[in-house]
A and B are shown apart, each in its own frame.
Chain A
């Protein structure tokens, strides 16, 4: 199987560990990710805020490139996914003209939903060598992946289950909580850090109340947000995993020699060691 891969800017920067674990996971699953050649930024919230035209045009360039490749896009970043979908829908509704030919011939997949399809979950379960037994996690989806439902296609927008299924496949104990899609405030971090931190802190508190030992995410901004706020925490921190990090660990069952978790602020290594999941 082959897919067009649109990593997005974050995976080249702060979310580099996400990018590495994605590569490892897809290698194990025998799915080839072909990075869209010379891809460009989707425009994120900024384009959306200031110019609707730009918000449609910027992702369109990447859609056109994938169409040329004849491959469906898989997007690891919730924000990029949302923007690609938005652009695709607006072009299909012929609300804007864009300089690149986009026919809507290819699908845009959110990576979690693609992997949480029943056949994929079986495929994943087959490759798990070390189920992450005893690791109690909550899954956090954030906003952009699921909302607005008309755009994202998530009908269970209040209680999405894609990450839950994937973390369960990795062997972790997934706890239900009500805050799966409650905004972490990432988009306002620059400018009104006070607001962002109050939202993020609340999420951590709720996760802890639920009894979670770690949080599983798929959005680079959510991860950075939830992780960074814990930088001054001496103890009792909640590691924030990309779901692909958990899958990779379950697939490879290795020690920490490669420093897979070194970019985390809330260090997951002690937790994983305590659970006997890292030697």
Chain B
């Protein structure tokens, strides 16, 4: 399910590879420094300082599930491989647990970089590799916009109403688990069905207007 944009990027990448004579050999061209400068500017992370020691990847609790490992993310940014990064599962799988950033000896800000790539991906036309996760974050913000606070039950309900989500959950059997879980929570009195709404909800909504206007 590649978007048009994405397949174009893929093709473009292939052409570049072909130009490099033997398929897998990648050219080190000019893209690197531009992308690197941009990401460093936007995140304040010292991405260039990385010496590939792999402390981040060794520290990461979910590196197994990442197609591009944390230390490689940094290398890819240096090389300017934007598409590979924005298409990666990595940027969605990241837990923001900050282990990588904490243990980095070069103050690279690995987690911040990954998170920033996630927001770039969300703003791009590239389809997120982990769709449910991407939709969840969107839904959360939408719920917040609605009430000023987030009610867990309403959040789940809203998520399930998003296109494709319920279908996927039924297919994977996840829905069944979630219903059972919901019942347990309900029995334990952990679910509050009535959401609270902030009185000054308009104030909160006002900041959504310039949401895209990130640091420039």
Binding site for B on A (CB under 8 A): 9-10, 12-14, 16, 38-41, 43-54, 57-58, 61, 95-96, 98-99, 143-144, 147-149, 157, 182-183, 185, 187-188, 190-193, 195, 199, 224, 228, 231, 262-265
For the complex, would chain B's binding face be called helix, strand, loop or mixed by DSSP majority? helix
How many whole Å from A144's CB to the nearest CB in chain B?
8
* A14/B185 contact (C-beta < 8 A), A61-B204, A192-B133, A193-B177 known: yes
Tell me whether B119 and A147 are in contact (CB under 8 A).
no
Question: How long is the Cα–Cα vector from A52 to B138 in the complex, in angstroms?
Answer: 14
- A14: chain B residues within 8 A (beta carbon): 152, 185, 190-191
Binding site for A on B (CB under 8 A): 61-62, 65, 92-93, 95-99, 101-102, 111, 115-116, 118-119, 122, 130, 132-133, 136-138, 140-141, 144, 148-153, 156, 159, 174, 177, 181, 184-185, 188-192, 196, 198-200, 203-204, 206-208, 210-215
* A147/B184 contact (C-beta < 8 A), A46-B140, A52-B116 known: no
How many whole Å from B120's CB to the nearest CB in chain A?
10
- A16: chain B residues within 8 A (beta carbon): 189-190, 192
Tell me whether B96 and A96 are in contact (CB under 8 A).
no
Question: How long is the Cα–Cα vector from A16 to B194 in the complex, in angstroms?
Answer: 14
- A95: chain B residues within 8 A (beta carbon): 215
Tell me whether B150 and A9 are in contact (CB under 8 A).
yes
How many whole Å from B183's CB to the nearest CB in chain A?
10
Tell me whether B62 and A185 are in contact (CB under 8 A).
yes
Question: How long is the Cα–Cα vector from A98 to B210 in the complex, in angstroms?
Answer: 11
Question: How long is the Cα–Cα vector from A13 to B196 in the complex, in angstroms?
Answer: 10
Tell me whether A187 and B144 are in contact (CB under 8 A).
no
Q: Which of B97, B138, B181 contacts A183 (CB 8 A)?
A: B97
How many whole Å from B6's CB to the nearest CB in chain A?
19
* A183/B204 contact (C-beta < 8 A), A49-B115, A52-B116, A190-B136 known: no
Tell me whether B149 and A199 are in contact (CB under 8 A).
no
* A147/B211 contact (C-beta < 8 A), A13-B151, A48-B115 known: no
Tell me whether A58 and B144 are in contact (CB under 8 A).
yes
- A98: chain B residues within 8 A (beta carbon): 207
Q: Which of A53, A148, A192 contacts B213 (CB 8 A)?
A: A53
Tell me whether A54 and B141 are in contact (CB under 8 A).
yes
Tell me whether B62 and A148 are in contact (CB under 8 A).
no
Tell me whether A50 and B137 are in contact (CB under 8 A).
yes
How many whole Å from A78's CB to the nearest CB in chain B?
11
Tell me whether A49 and B119 are in contact (CB under 8 A).
yes
Tell me whether A192 and B93 are in contact (CB under 8 A).
yes
* A53/B102 contact (C-beta < 8 A), A9-B149, A228-B181 known: no
